[in-house]
Chain A
Amino acid sequence: MRYAYWPGCVSKGGCPELYVSMAKVAEVLGIELVELHEASCTGFGVLTEQDQELADTLNCRTFAMAEKLGAPLMNICSTCQGVMSAADRRAREDPEYLSRINETLAEEGLHYSGNLEIKNFLWVLVEDVGLDTLRSKVKRPLTGLRAAPFYGCYILRPSETLGIDGKKRDTYLEQVIEALGAEPVDFYGKSKCCGFPIVTMNRTNSLSMAGDHLLEAKEKGADVMVTPCPLCHLNLDGQQPAVEGIKKQRIGLPILHLPQMVGLALGIDPKELRLNRHVVDAMGVVAKIGA
Chain B
Amino acid sequence: MQITLKVRRYDPERQDGAQTGVAYWQTYPLDAPDHFTVLDALIQVREEIDGSLGLRCSCRSAICGSCAMRINGHAGLACKTRISVLGGDGQADALREITVEPMANMPVIKDLITDMQPFWNKVRQVEPWLQTEGPLPEREHLVPDEAMEHLVGVMNCIMCGACVSDCTVLEAELKNGKPYDQTFIAPAALAKAYRFAADPRDAKQKERLKKLSEPTGIYDCTHCFECVQVCPKGVAPMERILKMREMAAEAGITNNTGARHAQAAEFTIKASGRNYELTFYPKSVGMFNLKELLPALPTGLALIRKAGAKMVLPHKAENVEKIQRIFKKVGKKNKRRP
Contact = CB atoms under 8 A, between A and B. Distances in A.
Q: Which of A159, A195, A200 has the most CB of B within 10 A?
A: A200
A99 interface: no
Contacts of A10: 275, 277
Range for the number of chain A residues in contact with chain B: 35 or more
B199 interface: no
A257 B136 CA distance: 61
A107 B278 CA distance: 33
A241 B305 CA distance: 14
B265 interface: yes
B277 A57 contact: no
Chain B's interface size range is 35 or more
Contacts of A156: 225
A53 B243 CA distance: 13
A175 to B, nearest CB: 13
A240 to B, nearest CB: 9
Contact of A51 (B219, B268, B306, B331): B331
A43 B154 CA distance: 26
B172 to A, nearest CB: 5
A158 B228 contact: yes
A201 B258 contact: yes
A81 B173 CA distance: 28
Contacts, number: 192
Q: Is the interface of B mostly helix, strand, loop or mixed?
A: helix
Contacts of A278: 306
Given A104-B326, A241-B298, A51 B222 contact: no
B262 A201 contact: no
B257 A201 contact: yes
Interface string A154-190: 1011110000000000000000000000000000100
Interface stretch (A34-42, A111-119, A141-149, A264-272): A34-42
Contact of B295 (A39, A46, A234, A242): A242
Contacts of B226: 153, 157, 192-193
B315 interface: yes
Contacts of B281: 199-200
- Which of B298, B302, B323 has the most A CB atoms < 10 Å from its CB? B302
A198 to B, nearest CB: 5
Given A12-B310, A202-B219, A205-B173, 4 more contacts: A47-B266, A159-B229, A193-B168, A201-B261
Closest 3 CB pairs of A and B: A157-B225, A193-B224, A9-B275
19 contacts: A13-B274, A13-B275, A13-B310, A13-B311, A14-B277, A14-B310, A38-B273, A44-B265, A51-B331, A104-B330, A193-B168, A193-B223, A193-B224, A193-B226, A195-B172, A198-B169, A205-B222, A277-B306, A279-B303
